[in-house]
Chain A
Amino acid sequence: MTAKRDYFPLFLIAPTVVYLFLVVIYPMVYSLYLSTTNFDLSSGVQSFIAVENYLEILRDAEFFESLGITLTLTATTVSCSLLIGLGLALILNRYTKGRIVILPLLLTPMMLTPVVIGLMWAMMYNADYGVFSYLFGLLGFERRSLIGDPSTALLSVIVTDIWQWTPFMMILLLSGLQSLPQEPYEAAQIDGASKLQTTRFITLPMLMPTIMVAVIFRTLDAIKIFDIVYTLTAGGPGIATEVVSLFIYRTGFRFFHMGYATALSWVLLAVTIVISQVYIKLIRTV
């Protein structure tokens, strides 16, 4: 059979694909090359050093520190926003009264400019004039800067991130709940299952694919967090909140070690790919 090749769809997709190819693939190849050099942005020095950068990363304690911070942040913010989001979605799915007003208000944080979110939370966390430290003072705690103290700084960033992204979890899960088939519920009612049993044994298993998608997207976004940290703590105090993206940014644009920074960014890319592959395997099993 000799089907004539249909060029019409190719003609429609060509501009997008060519564009993305040029602006993404070409720089990535260039970046891979840079990662094998000691390119310094300020002096312009550039010589081939093979895998030396990657070996250096393995010895770089600050990198592993920032990777640890990023993974801690990711695990905490994803699990907390999943739990809160799921709870809210279950409530909103059953109690529909007032939802039309409540829902848009609940969803606002995920659309706000992250830089602004970082700043406004920094104001609220401020030790002297921040409304949070004032409220903590009322509760009898010592008034202090939550983002200035190394022991609470990461937690403050996490709370802010949960604030922004719980709405995302909530709306995804609510959409998932609304599209579930009704028959299993009717069967459960006939069998006399309690509400808790129904949720545990019918709703959650059926919702699992949506939960997985929400968790994947949230995880991959949390790993590349930059904006909020940049304005909220700038990685500080010390390096208590220095996430990987910020560490790479500093390496490349503050210390101008561009060769090393590109090698770091390839490691981050590899971590991202490994995590998404693990998730894809998990999705296949549910």
Chain B
Amino acid sequence: MNRSAKSSIETSTAYLFLLAALLFAVFPTFWILSTSVKTRADIFAIPPTWLFTPTFEHFQNVLTDFPFGKFFFNSLIVSTTTTIVAIALGSPTAYAFARYTFRGSKDLSFWILSLRMAPPIAFILPLYILMSNLKLLDTQLALIIVDLTFALPIVVWIMIGFFQSIPRELEESALVDGSSRLGVFWRIVLPLSLPGLWTTAVISFIFCWNEFLYALILTGSNARTLPVAISAFNTQRGILWGEMGAASVIAILPVLMFATFVHRHFVKGLTLGAVKG
């Protein structure tokens, strides 16, 4: 076998693998999207229907029969507020870690990293009792307070990387010109880091948006978020698949929209910047 024939076989095998992986990766998401716009008859048809006339009745049902508008709003408020607070508190912290070494700075930054590793169930048991004592159960505030325990470390660790990539010379020349260090951070560093801030905010938002365990334990009918509301659908009875599909699509749509912009940086959110994404 000559060299070019061998390499063309290799290439086709490689792309065959990629195609298989692609089908496996995309199919479940495609299936939930299609379930959400199928009629009841099409959903339970055997063999499954691949071509059908789409219907939006399930989306209507989800928004009228169940208060999914309210759950969506709860998720939006909690995720947005948590992200804003995390950025406001976390980015100065990240800047300090990126630019200064002081006694204990290594230990402190590692401690913040280690919060990401601990099992959330260990945090939530005592926090539940504290929130209950503070009469904060089933409020958005309680969820925001608790969500910050993972959103803050995410923001700090991703922003350290962004701040380190800004050349120091700009800050030094501004200091020579008589700006204060806080002024340099506010007027020079932050504007330069705007793309990084946006990326970080989106990643923090997605983490809050997807969060389930804390919301399950801390919220009731009032502050319930989308994931908790969706988890209440029972698949075994199998009667509400269309509604389940529609609610799922409502929950994953914002993520799908953002995904294309941040997918590579998203890994930094998971590894807290331990690897360059």
Q: Which residues of A contact B (CB under 8 A)?
A: 6, 8-10, 12-13, 15-17, 19-20, 23-24, 27-28, 30-31, 34, 41, 84, 87-88, 91-92, 94-95, 98, 102-124, 126, 128-129, 131, 134, 163, 167-168, 171-172, 175-176, 179, 210, 213-214, 217, 220-221, 223-224, 226-227, 230-231, 245, 248-249, 252-253, 258, 261-262, 265-266, 268-269, 272, 276
Given A28-B122, A163-B25: 11 more A-B contacts, CB < 8 Å:
A9-B96, A12-B93, A13-B97, A23-B127, A95-B14, A119-B235, A120-B28, A126-B235, A213-B274, A224-B119, A268-B119
Q: How far is the CA of A103 from the CA of B127 in the complex (A)?
A: 39
Interchain CB contact under 8 A, A115 and B227: yes
Interchain CB contact under 8 A, B14 and A115: no
User: Known: A17-B108, A131-B31. Is A226-B152 also a contact (CB below 8 A)?
Assistant: no
**Across the interface, which residues of A come within 8 angstroms of B161, CB to CB?**
none
Interchain CB contact under 8 A, B213 and A227: yes
Q: How far is the CA of A175 from the CA of B271 in the complex (A)?
A: 13
**Across the interface, which residues of B come within 8 angstroms of A226, CB to CB?**
120-121, 212-213
**Across the interface, which residues of A come within 8 angstroms of B251, CB to CB?**
113, 115-116
Identify B271's interface contact among A104, A217, A258, A261, CB under 8 A. Answer: A217
User: Known: A9-B105, A106-B21. Is A28-B125 also a contact (CB below 8 A)?
Assistant: no
- Shortest Cβ gap from B125 to chain A (Å): 5
Q: How far is the CA of A252 from the CA of B122 in the complex (A)?
A: 11
Interchain CB contact under 8 A, A115 and B17: no
B69 at the A interface (CB under 8 A): no
B260 at the A interface (CB under 8 A): yes
Lowest 3 CB-CB distances: which A-B pairs, in order?
A12-B96, A27-B126, A9-B100
Interchain CB contact under 8 A, B93 and A16: yes
**Which partner residue on chain A sits nearest B28 by CB separation?**
A120
- Shortest Cβ gap from A4 to chain B (Å): 12
Q: How far is the CA of A84 from the CA of B25 in the complex (A)?
A: 12
**Across the interface, which residues of B come within 8 angstroms of A27, CB to CB?**
123, 126-127, 130
16 contacts between A and B (CB under 8 A): A8-B181, A9-B99, A24-B115, A30-B130, A94-B14, A98-B18, A102-B18, A108-B29, A113-B230, A115-B230, A120-B248, A163-B28, A171-B277, A217-B270, A245-B213, A249-B213
Interchain CB contact under 8 A, B277 and A175: yes
B167 at the A interface (CB under 8 A): no
Q: Which residues of B contact A (CB under 8 A)?
A: 11, 14-15, 17-18, 21-22, 24-26, 28-29, 31-32, 35, 43-44, 46-48, 89-90, 92-93, 95-97, 99-100, 102, 105, 108, 112, 115, 117-123, 125-130, 145-146, 148-149, 152-153, 156, 181-182, 185, 206, 209-210, 212-213, 216-217, 226-228, 230-231, 233, 235, 238, 241, 244-245, 248, 251-252, 255-256, 258-260, 263-264, 266-267, 270-271, 274-277
**Across the interface, which residues of B come within 8 angstroms of A217, CB to CB?**
270-271, 274
- Shortest Cβ gap from A16 to chain B (Å): 4
Interchain CB contact under 8 A, B96 and A172: no
Q: How far is the CA of A176 from the CA of B277 in the complex (A)?
A: 9
Interchain CB contact under 8 A, B95 and A123: no
**Across the interface, which residues of B come within 8 angstroms of A105, CB to CB?**
22, 25-26
Interchain CB contact under 8 A, A88 and B267: no
Interchain CB contact under 8 A, B24 and A13: no
Interchain CB contact under 8 A, B255 and A111: yes
**Which partner residue on chain B sits nearest A232 by CB separation?**
B235
Identify A131's interface contact among B48, B108, B230, B274, CB under 8 A. Answer: B48
Q: How far is the CA of A223 from the CA of B120 in the complex (A)?
A: 11
**Across the interface, which residues of B come within 8 angstroms of A112, CB to CB?**
29, 210, 252, 255-256
Interchain CB contact under 8 A, B149 and A20: yes
**Which partner residue on chain B sits nearest A117 by CB separation?**
B28
User: Known: A120-B28, A213-B275, A276-B117. Is A23-B100 also a contact (CB below 8 A)?
Assistant: no
Interchain CB contact under 8 A, A15 and B217: no
Identify B96's interface contact among A13, A107, A121, A230, CB under 8 A. Answer: A13
Identify B212's interface contact among A109, A114, A163, A214, CB under 8 A. Answer: A114
**Across the interface, which residues of B come within 8 angstroms of A104, CB to CB?**
259-260, 263
User: Known: A12-B95, A15-B89, A116-B248. Is A163-B24 also a contact (CB below 8 A)?
Assistant: yes
Interchain CB contact under 8 A, B125 and A258: yes
**Across the interface, which residues of B come within 8 angstroms of A167, CB to CB?**
25
Q: How far is the CA of A121 from the CA of B209 in the complex (A)?
A: 20
Interchain CB contact under 8 A, B117 and A265: no
User: Known: A107-B263, A109-B25, A115-B227. Is A91-B18 also a contact (CB below 8 A)?
Assistant: yes
**Across the interface, which residues of A come within 8 angstroms of B35, CB to CB?**
120, 123
User: Known: A129-B43, A224-B121. Is A123-B241 also a contact (CB below 8 A)?
Assistant: yes
Q: How far is the CA of A17 from the CA of B93 in the complex (A)?
A: 9
- Shortest Cβ gap from A103 to chain B (Å): 8
**Which partner residue on chain A sits nearest B233 by CB separation?**
A119
Identify B275's interface contact among A17, A111, A176, CB under 8 A. Answer: A176
